[in-house]
Chains A and B, each alone.
Chain A
Amino acid sequence: MIGLTHYLFLSSLLAALGVIAIAGRRNAVAILMGIELLLNAASINFVAFSHFVVPARPELALDGQLFAIFIIVLAAAEAAVALAIIISIYHNLKSINADELVQMKH
């Protein structure tokens, strides 16, 4: 029987992979992919809790799914702005490796 724990295991694994990408990758776009993995893990958590856990009041039953929708919207906004910044950095420095971007002004 598949329960809440299985989904939490899955999302913990996804979140850990996202953290590895954020902490270790050099390319800024790869770091962005790590952030997407983390956000995905968070929304799996929200939906799994909304499905498996009994809400305190019955009208709160769909709140988890609504939070996941907000996460998706915020992820889209964040990806757009981050890619704009990355492209702007690439114009200026011809490199988007995170360990080479050590200056704030150009």
Chain B
Amino acid sequence: MDARAAAFILFSILTIVPAFFVVFSKNLVHSAFSLLFTLGGTAALFVLLGADFLAITQLLVYVGGILILLLFGVMFTQRIYDMRAQTNFYNLPTAVLVGVTTFFLLFFGVALSVPWKAAPHPAHEPTSAALGELLLTRYLLPFEVISILLLTVLIGAVVVAKKEQPE
């Protein structure tokens, strides 16, 4: 087994095992911290796939931003002091059935049955310059649209989350 395969197995375990905790853990704070490992493992997989810029972006945006936001949401909306014993699943058997069906459809129905023209790239090259050039040439319109979307989201989130003034 070469080093790349060993790294892949290590990072995929680092991605998958915490994902189970994210879904099945009783404590939401534990879920959020497991999500940290899943997202970090994904970033490591991106490095293995030769996407260096994307891996850094994943770490910065997901781990540095979205995860903090989620933790904030968990702590803001959970009454930590009265931990009532309540089920954290609405209908677990149905959910697991749906999930297992999804997995079989995705993996055996699509991933294994389509003949992909797979050919491994020989070398890893830095991608940042090429990605930046694409964003400012062929993908300029989506780039601008998504920046307008971000502005809208910024304003919308503030408007939705602020307390309503009593009249």
Contact = CB atoms under 8 A, between A and B. Distances in A.
Interface of A: 1-21, 23-27, 29-30, 32-34, 36-37, 40, 43-44, 47-54, 62-63, 65-66, 68-70, 72-77, 79-81, 83-88, 90-91, 96, 98-99
Nearest to B124: A51
B167 to A, nearest CB: 15
Nearest to B87: A26
A12 to B, nearest CB: 4
Interface in B90-104: 90-92, 94-96, 98-100, 102-103
A87 to B, nearest CB: 5
Contacts of B153: 77, 80-81
A96 B79 CA distance: 11
A16 to B, nearest CB: 4
Given A10-B12, A72-B58, A81 B119 contact: no
B16 A10 contact: yes
B93 to A, nearest CB: 9
A76 B112 CA distance: 31
Nearest to A72: B61
A65 B54 contact: yes
Given A52-B119, A87-B73, A1 B161 contact: no
B23 A15 contact: no
Given A32-B70, A79-B66, A80-B69, A17 B22 contact: yes
Contacts of A52: 116, 118-121
B66 A30 contact: no
B103 A44 contact: no
B61 A76 contact: yes
B112 A5 contact: yes
B31 A30 contact: yes
Contacts of A53: 116-119
Given A53-B118, A77-B153, A83 B22 contact: no
